[in-house]
Amino acid sequence: MSTLIVVDDLSDWPLSIPGIELVPARSYLTDPVYVGHRATKVFNLCRSYRYQSLGYYVSLLATARGHKPLPGIATIQDLKSQSVIRVASYELEESIRKSFAPLQARKFVLSIYFGRNLARRYDQLSQQLFKLFPAPFLRANFERNDRSGKWYLQGISPLAAGDIPKDHREFVVEESQKYFKGARRSGGRKVSARYDLAILVSPAEAEPPSDEKALHRFQKAAEKAGLRPELIEKDDFRRLGEFDALFLRETTGVNHHTYRFAQKAAAEGMVVVDDPESILKCTNKVFLAELLERNRVSIPRTMIVHRGNKDAVAAGLGLPCILKQPDSSFSRGVVKVDREEELRDTVGALLEKSEMVIAQEFLATPFDWRVGVFDRQPLFACRYYMARHHWQILKRDVNGLKRDEGKVETIPVEHLPEPVLRTALRAANLIGDGLYGVDLKQVGRNVLVIEVNDNPNIDAGVEDRVLKDEIYLRIMRVFLRRIEQRKSLAYP
C-alpha cells in the first residue's frame, strides 16, 4: 500500500521518509496521476479542514477515490461538533482528572502527535483522544471550572504541520517515523504489506472466540499472506477507515458494538468477516429455525413458541424438551425442562424478553459435531463431548459462569461422515460465504442441524489441532483474495 502525505505547502513538512511521497494539496486534488492510485493511505496535514477548504476536499476526494484518508470526513465533522466534544469530555472524565490533577492553572493546551505527547503523563489521554478523533496532529484545549475544580475538554482542532512548535519537532519526527513504518501499530515489527487488517478483540472477554495464542497465530498468518494486522478494540471505532478489512474475534450480538463495527466496515466497502447480514441471521434462533425448515435441512422437531401456542409445547414435542431464547450463545439462554410446570414458568419468563422463542425436542447424544466452514469450504471438524453428568458441552453455575467443559476431538475434514459434511455445508451456505460453525447431532442415520454460529471458536490446540498454522493461513488468504477483488472492481 502506497502512502501519501498531503500538505498545503511542501515547506510545511521538514521530514523525508523513504517510501512515502510528499504531495501538495492542489496536486493531489487536480493531478490525474493521483486519481488512479490504488490502495493509497492519505495523511492529510493541511492547515485547515474548514468546509470546502483544501484540507476538506483532500479527505473528501480521498474517500471518493477509495483511498484511506486520515482524518476522514466523519472525523472532520466531529472536530467541529460541540455536542461530540461534550460527549468526549464526559467519556474521558477520569483520564482528564488524573492527567491534570496537579495543575493549578485554569487552562491547558495538549498537543497530540499520532496519539502521543512529549510528556508521558499525558500519553494515555492523548491516545484516547486520538482514537476518538483520528487525525495526525491535534491540539486539545482544556479548562478548569472554578467552582467544581473539574477539568473539561473545551475544544479540539487539527494542528497543521507548519504550526508545530520548534521544540516539538524532533519528537514529532520520531513519532511520525514510528507511525508510518508501522512499528507502534504492529507490536514493534516492521511489516511489508499491501493491505491493512483490523482484528476486533476484547481483552476483558471471559470466553472470546480465539485465545491469545490463536490471535498471535492469526497475526503471523496475516503477515505471511501480505497483510498488516492490528488488534483493535471497541474504542477504535472511528479508526476503521484506516483499514482494508475487518475480522471480528469478539463475541457478536445485534444490539452490540460488534454489529456496528461490521455495519460500518461493510458500508465503507471493506472486507468484513463476519458481515452484518451473517450476524443478523446467525444470532437469531427463530430466523435459523424458519430458514432451515423452509429449505428442508433436517433439524430436531422444533416449535416457534409465542403467546398463542405456548400451552401446546408439551403435546407437540414431549418432555423433556429444550427452550432457547433467540439470541442464545455459548450454552447461555438454553434451558432443558423436564416437567410441565417448569415448562410453563420458563416459557413465560422467556416470552417476557422476546415475542418468540424456540422449543426443540431433546436428543441425548454423547457429543455434538462442529464443522467450521469458511468461503463455502469446510475448514475444521470437531466432536464436542458433553460435560460430565450434564446434557450440554458447557456446564455453568447459577451465575452463568463456566464450571466444567467436555473434551474436544479434532479430526481431519476428510474423515467426516459424508452425511455430516454434506448437511453442514448446506446449512452454512444458506447463510452466506462467511466464517461459520455448524453444530449437528447424529442420531442413528439421521444428521440434524442444531444451529449455525457466526464467529465460531478457533482456539490454539483445539480447532487448529489438525491443520495447525495452515488453518490461519487459509483464512488470511481468503481475506487477501477478497480485498484484491474489491480493489480490482474499484479500479478496473
Q: Are 265 and 308 in contact (CB under 8 A)?
A: no
Residue 187 has pLDDT above 60, yes or no: no
pLDDT value of position 291: 93
| Cell numbers given for 184 | 507502534
- pLDDT per residue over 256-302, tens digit each? 999 999 999 998 889 999 999 999 999 888 899 999 999 999 999 99
Q: For residue range 240-259, what is the model confidence (pLDDT) as tens digits?
A: 888 999 999 999 988 899 99
pTM: 0.76
Strands, sheet with 68-70, edge to edge from the N-terminal-most edge strand: 20-24, 2-7, 40-44, 68-70
Q: Would you state the cell numbers that stand for residue 301, as one nine-digit string?
A: 422437531
Mean pLDDT of the 463-471 span = 97
Write out pLDDT tens, residues 316-364: 999 999 998 887 665 567 899 999 999 999 999 999 988 888 999 999 9
Least confident of 54-68, 162-176, 189-203, 442-456: 189-203
For range 447-463, the mean pLDDT: 96
Average pLDDT for the chain: 89
Length of the chain: 492
pLDDT of residue 15: 66
Contact 39, 1 (CB under 8 A): yes
| Residue 295 pLDDT | 95
Q: What percent of the chain has pLDDT over 90?
A: 61
Cα dihedral 183, 189, 192, 196 in deg (nearest 10): -70
| Better-predicted residue by pLDDT, 370 or 149 | 370
